[in-house]
Amino acid sequence: MKKSIGICCFYGNWSIVEILVLAKESGFSGFEIDLSEYGPVNLKSTPD
């Protein structure tokens, strides 16, 4: 069975990379990101 987690389950000033690493290390294979105007990944984000 695959498990996923959403970014809303994390709090604080963590970078998106830190959150993704922790989710993977915790056994989650899927991740729901916040794609809002002020989220860590938004429509103005670059590939970097």
> Residue 48 pLDDT more than 80?
no
Please give the mean pLDDT across all residues of the chain: 88
Give the span between the Cα atoms of 29 and 6, in whole angstroms.
11
Please tell me the total count of domains within the chain. 1
- Residue 14, Cα to own-chain centre: how many angstroms? 10
Q: How far separated are the first and last CA of the chain, in Å rounded?
A: 32
Residue 28 tokens read as 């989650």
Q: What are 24-34's pLDDT values in tens digits?
A: 999 999 999 88
Q: What are phi and psi of 21, to 5 degrees?
A: -65, -45
- Its domain, for residue 20, covers 1-48
Q: Give the whole-number percent of the chain exceeding pLDDT 70.
A: 100
> For residue 16, what are the contacts with CB-CB under 8 A and spacing of at least 6?
33, 40, 41
